[in-house]
Structure 1
Amino acid sequence: MKLTAAWQEEIIRFAQELIRIPGFSGEEGRTAEAVARQMRRLGYDEVEVDRWGNVIGTIHGTRPGPTIVFDGHMDVVPVRDPEAWEHDPYGAEIVDGALWGRGSVDMKGGLAACICAGASVDRAKISGTVMVTATIAEELLIGRGLGKILEGRKVDGLITCEPTGLRQIAVGGVGRITAEMTARGLTAHSSKPHLGDNAIYRAMDAASRIRAMPRRTDPVFGTEVIELVEMKSKPSPGNGSVPDYCWALWECRLLPGETCDSFLQRFHTALQDFPGAEKVTFEPGRIAIDCYTGEHLEHEDFLPAWLTPAEEPFRRLVEQALSLTGIQAEPVIFRACTNASVSAGIMGIPSLIYGPGSLDLAHKPNEHLPIAELLASAEVYAAIIERTGFTQGSEHLSKVDSSSKL
């Protein structure tokens, strides 16, 4: 579907409006108001803001058919170094054919494109139901806002509009876990360290064992990531004392088949013959946030890997729509976690990732999105909606098969 000039202008205008609203995780209220207002203005049949602050817009087609979801998160990461930006990070300026600003790529551009695309399609061409979800707190609690929306709903397919660029479509994604390591010791005066047991040294030695663990690989998903990202000790400040406590955080990207328990067991196995292993413990991290509505969300920080295979009808529909718009998109594995980690990895809904922009620019100074990509992605979303009469009744994913081909 080719967008009219009026729709092109509207997508650009709305993307600019969203970028000019900061909206960090837990502070998405103004963004949610803008999204709900836009959906109502564009004629969505239903617009709901749930108790956690997610916005759900629904469009009903004129014929029976599947329910498909286009998803985008409303929150952005903070701007920590504004002096490094060439343009105002919340100015949404258009320079050299690109839209500049925090969230242009990750992912207010994609969110604006799918909201407008949904309304641009003639209802007579829509089979089933189209839902567009604007979700909260993805930058901290990946997928958990979307999960609240999807609970109890029958959904046949989902696209999260994170940046892949026009020529790639993510058909799977790695999993993740944050593993908290705690090492215990015995405090003593730092002038007589032999009377104590330094917990930092124990944590460093344990970390060396973990770093030496063989890394697993998968022919489709690549190599797992196990990275030490933070350490803290007590007492703190440590002047005059041997530390009796050291906490460390491992951030990891996981391959298919890995569970929370199986992954942490590998850490324990690495320390089997380690002196003082009984003084080192591991547990999954937890992340909590107070939503802008006042609701509290808290979850264990573990997400499984996922894959939507080539034979899945929803994936075939999307690939056909891409082809009809003249885009040949290479299937890839997304190396970061997204809302699809919950929709596909936990809830078994066939899911894909496709959106404008380069992930390489996300969370960085001078984030910007080419206008041409923004508009082209909206045309793809509209084409997908027009082809919603795909074969139904296929089984949703229940497992990730690491032997599957892209």
Structure 2
Amino acid sequence: MTQQSPAQHVEPDTAAAVALTQELVRLRTVNARDAVEIEAPAARVVESVMRGFGWDVSVQEVAPGRPNVVGVITGTSAGRTLMFEGHTDVVTEGDPAAWSFDPFSGDIVDGRLLGRGSADMKAGVAAMIHAARAVELGGFRGRIIVGALCDEEEMMIGATAFAASPLAAGVDGVIVCEPEEGEICAISKGAMRVRIGVLGKMAHGAMPQHGRNPIPAVGRILLGLQELGEQIAAGLGSHEYLGEFYLTPTVVQAGTIEQINVIPAVASIAVDIRSIPGADHGAVVHLIRRLTEQITDEAGLGSKIEVLVDRPVVDTPHGAPVVAALAAAHLDITGQQPVFGGVPGTTDGTILSRDAGLSTVVYGPGGKWIAHQVDEFVAVSQIEEATRVYARAAQLFLAEET
């Protein structure tokens, strides 16, 4: 790397990053479809912090009550543009009685900051904001974009909107601040969500001969999907960082419990597919369609296949500048050689890569497997460490000659 030292080193305010994490966790920004507003309370806090630093801040309401907050910091001279990215929505806490503490407490107990969204990913959002502030105070060239986006946990409309914006065109590298427990994840699984509709004919339960019941066909399709998933996984093998291909039925719907005496006209299966390099998404959908049509044709039924989500595998080379800067920063701050891994799900980085062609890498505080579980927490020490690593990575990335 050809590097120029920043004007001075400014230690990030890690205490402020921890306090901001607490403040954000205490806001229930659950991604629920019936909510009047979701991310807005957290977005207002983030916007206030960014404006308090004097950053150029834009707020885009991607959907009602669902804003993206983007802060831009301009350096002393022209250079690269680095983006830090995180999301402000969280998944449901489920049954609060299943938790051993208040799901939105934000309290710190025995070095752990507790609550839904603490790891996924309000700690990452707080860390990236205060890391960017430290780099700004130390002096740098180029630009830093700090994006706190909406709707990562569902359709990623926030990332989609940012990818289509003029700002995205100038970004040279993105650090997605999702919880990976210190692993540098330059590769992420692809994902598809597919809905299979089985079309029958409604009839009275006492006179099934007058209808065509889709439910028995659903049972056969479920068995076929299991076998299909196993066959595809066996053909692809296990990936070094991502593990195996998964094809998982997640939702089955047919009729209503209030109408036990009615044969439903339609039954459906939702399928969650997680792919690895070598998996052809189009070919997978073709196999699902062929399986479904074979079974429904034999039963005298119709069928409909819908691809609801199609996100590719993201594979950024380890030698890409943003990955190399992050790896060097991890070594500088922790004193340990970086460990490379893979993201088992998809992140906003998937959309930024797919739609805007951006070079992305995922790295952040919190356990990789704690997300979406009860008793979610993040270690305070990991928030502090990630804030320092982000700041150092930005210094290295922005100091390098383009």
Q: What is the deviation of 1:49?
A: 0.7
Residue 366 of structure 2: aligned partner: 357
Letter of the 2:160 partner, please give it.
G
Q: What is the deviation of 1:236?
A: 5.8
Within the alignment, does 1:11 sit opposite 2:17 as a pair? yes
Residue 182 of structure 1: aligned partner: 197
Within the alignment, does 1:63 sit opposite 2:77 as a pair? yes
Q: Which moved more, 1:64-73 or 1:340-349?
A: 340-349
Q: Distance in 1 between matches of 2:14 and 2:324?
A: 27
2:161 to 142, 145, 148: 148
Higher-helix-fraction structure: 2
Residue 5 of structure 2: aligned partner: none
**Distance change in 2, residues 1:187/1:8 (3 Å):** closer
Q: What is the deviation of 1:332?
A: 1.2
Q: Distance in 2 between matches of 1:59 and 1:234?
A: 54
Q: Distance in 1 between matches of 2:10 and 2:17?
A: 10
Within the alignment, does 1:215 sit opposite 2:232 as a pair? yes
**Distance change in 2, residues 1:80/1:236 (3 Å):** closer
**Map of 1:149-164 to 2, 5 A cutoff?**
149-151=162-164, 152=166, 153-164=169-180
Letter of the 2:185 partner, please give it.
A
Within the alignment, does 1:35 sit opposite 2:46 as a pair? yes
Residue 229 of structure 1: aligned partner: 250
Q: Is the 8 A contact 1:70 1:159 kept in 2?
A: yes
Q: Distance in 2 between matches of 1:319 and 1:71?
A: 18
Which runs of no fewer than 5 residues in structure 1 stay unpaired? 286-300, 393-406
Within the alignment, does 1:246 sit opposite 2:267 as a pair? yes
Identical aligned residues as a percent: 26
Q: Is the 8 A contact 1:138 1:145 kept in 2?
A: yes
Q: Is the 8 A contact 1:260 1:284 kept in 2?
A: no
3-state secondary structure, aligned to 1:106:
helix
**Map of 1:80-159 to 2, 5 A cutoff?**
80-123=94-137, 125-142=139-156, 144-151=157-164, 152=166, 153-159=169-175
Q: Distance in 1 between matches of 2:100 and 2:293?
A: 52
Q: Distance in 2 between matches of 1:147 and 1:88?
A: 33
Q: Distance in 1 between matches of 2:124 and 2:106?
A: 14
1:316 to 324, 335, 360: 324
Letter of the 2:213 partner, please give it.
N
Q: What is the deviation of 1:80?
A: 2.0
Letter of the 2:315 partner, please give it.
L
Within the alignment, does 1:280 sit opposite 2:294 as a pair? no
**Distance change in 2, residues 1:24/1:303 (3 Å):** same
2:399 to 389, 400, 405: 389
Q: What is the deviation of 1:346?
A: 3.5
Q: TM-score, normalised by structure 1?
A: 0.86
Q: Is the 8 A contact 1:235 1:244 kept in 2?
A: no
Q: Deviations over 1:299-354 (max 9, x none)?
A: xx221111001232221122112222124221111101110111123332110000
Q: Distance in 1 between matches of 2:244 and 2:300?
A: 27
Q: Distance in 2 between matches of 1:389 and 1:7?
A: 21
3-state secondary structure, aligned to 2:394:
helix
3-state secondary structure, aligned to 1:71:
strand
Letter of the 2:126 partner, please give it.
A
Residue 34 of structure 2: aligned partner: none
Q: Is the 8 A contact 1:317 1:390 kept in 2?
A: no
Letter of the 1:161 partner, please give it.
C
Letter of the 2:381 partner, please give it.
A
Q: Is the 8 A contact 1:172 1:306 kept in 2?
A: yes
Q: Is the 8 A contact 1:60 1:123 kept in 2?
A: no
**Map of 1:166-205 to 2, 5 A cutoff?**
166=182, 168-205=183-220
Q: Distance in 2 between matches of 1:321 and 1:57?
A: 23
Q: Is the 8 A contact 1:171 1:352 kept in 2?
A: yes
Q: What is the deviation of 1:77?
A: 1.7
Q: What is the deviation of 1:235?
A: 6.3
Q: Distance in 2 between matches of 1:81 and 1:191?
A: 39
Q: Distance in 2 between matches of 1:241 and 1:159?
A: 53
**Distance change in 2, residues 1:85/1:210 (3 Å):** closer
Which runs of no fewer than 5 residues in structure 2 stay unpaired? 1-7, 32-36
Q: What is the deviation of 1:79?
A: 2.1
3-state secondary structure, aligned to 1:63:
coil
Q: Is the 8 A contact 2:200 2:301 kept in 1?
A: no
3-state secondary structure, aligned to 1:40:
helix
